Structure 1
Amino acid sequence: MNHPEIILFLARADNGVIGDGDSIPWRLPEDQRRFKRMTMGKPMIMGRKTFDSLPGLLPGRRHIVLTRDKKWQADDAEVATSIKNALKIANAPHIAVIGGAEIYKAFLKQADRIELTEVHLKPKGDTKMPAFDDAIWEEIAREDHDAENGKPGYSFVTLKRK
């Protein structure tokens, strides 16, 4: 198989926050629908904390959990103990990397695309992700949405490696 396309999927607030404890400090149903549509049928690679934070298994997608704990296991999750091992298990033309911060950082050097939801808020949070380097990443699509009904404004942004 040729090199798979590795796609990072994440939502990040304007201040870099991507999480607080084991939750996300906002709720955007539109982002959840986009995430579902774009990851459907793709293997998803995630860290153990991200897997544990899910409401349950996400239908139509494989769950590959990257963990240092060689004994860890969960029903219907495939366990990987290295990036190379996770990619081998995924064995697909398009692979979704869905977090958390350590997993994003580990895959950033080999990622081909980033599907980013910019959430126009500055919430408190203990997990942050720095801005992506413009020298490496080129914005190829943007869809802006205004704040409404108590939800923050947000932008769906696609970044592609230059």
Structure 2
Amino acid sequence: MSKRIVMVAAVARNRVIGNGPDIPWKIPGEQAEFKRLTTGHTLVIGRTTYESIGRPLPGRTTIVLTRSPTWSADGVLVTHSFFDALSRAALLPGEVVVAGGAQVYAEAMPFASEQIISEVPVSPPGDAFYPEIDPAAWEVVEREPREGYERVTWLRRERM
């Protein structure tokens, strides 16, 4: 695939990204930053993440991954594998932005070229975790302190 694949997530110190359908923190401005980063692009998200949002996000094309052959929702494209999602995204506007949940992030990690992580300085209980970032494969290229979190940009190191 010639399009960049960017993973965008808010991640706690203990790698928690969610607890049931909820994000276990509220940080003013962080969701606005998510909107800024993703508008105009194609979002790839899992069904549970989509259902926790409850609607397609404006200004973005949304591809929802699900194992259910009968699941559908108005205003989104549905695929049943990460590779199908990438194939559809290749024909759509903007970059491919992977925005959760845990399983989708794990599937996207080997293909992503960039990760934009909001590091949240808490360790809440949760049942969804962001995958480990291998420092041999990734390097931090930018770290921006924000109110209540740090925005960290990781780029994939050159593959040997």
| TM-score of the pair, normalised by structure 1 | 0.91
Shift in alpha-carbon separation, 1:108–1:130, aligned structure 2, 3 A: closer
Output the CA distance in 2 between the equivalents of 1:115 and 1:161: 12
**Which of 135, 149, 155 is matched with 1:154 structurally?**
149
Distance (Å, rounded) in 2 between the aligned partners of 1:44 and 1:138: 24
- Deviation at 1:158? 0.4
1:40 corresponds to which residue?
A: 39
For 1:13-162, list aligned pairs within 5 A.
13-91=12-90, 92=92, 94-146=95-147, 153-162=148-157
Question: 1:87, CA displacement in angstroms?
Answer: 1.1
Sequence identity percentage? 40
Q: What amino acid is the match of 1:69?
A: S
Give distance in 2, aligned partners of 1:86 and 1:49.
16
Over the aligned positions, Cα root-mean-square deviation in angstroms equals 1.3
Structure 1 residue 55: deviation in Å?
4.3
Give SS of 2:21's match.
coil
Amino acid at match of 1:37: R
| Structure 1: gaps of 5 or more residues | 147-152
Unaligned ranges ≥5, structure 2: none
Distance in 2 of aligned mates of 1:67 and 1:98: 14
Q: Distance in 2 between matches of 1:5 and 1:130?
A: 19
Calculate the TM-score normalised by the size of structure 2.
Answer: 0.92
CA deviation profile, 1:90-142 (whole Å, cap 9, x unmatched): 12451000000000001100010001000001111111224311101110111
Instruction: Please tell me whether the aligned partners of residues 116 and 151 of structure 2 are also in contact (alpha carbons under 8 angstroms).
Output: yes
* Paired positions, count: 155
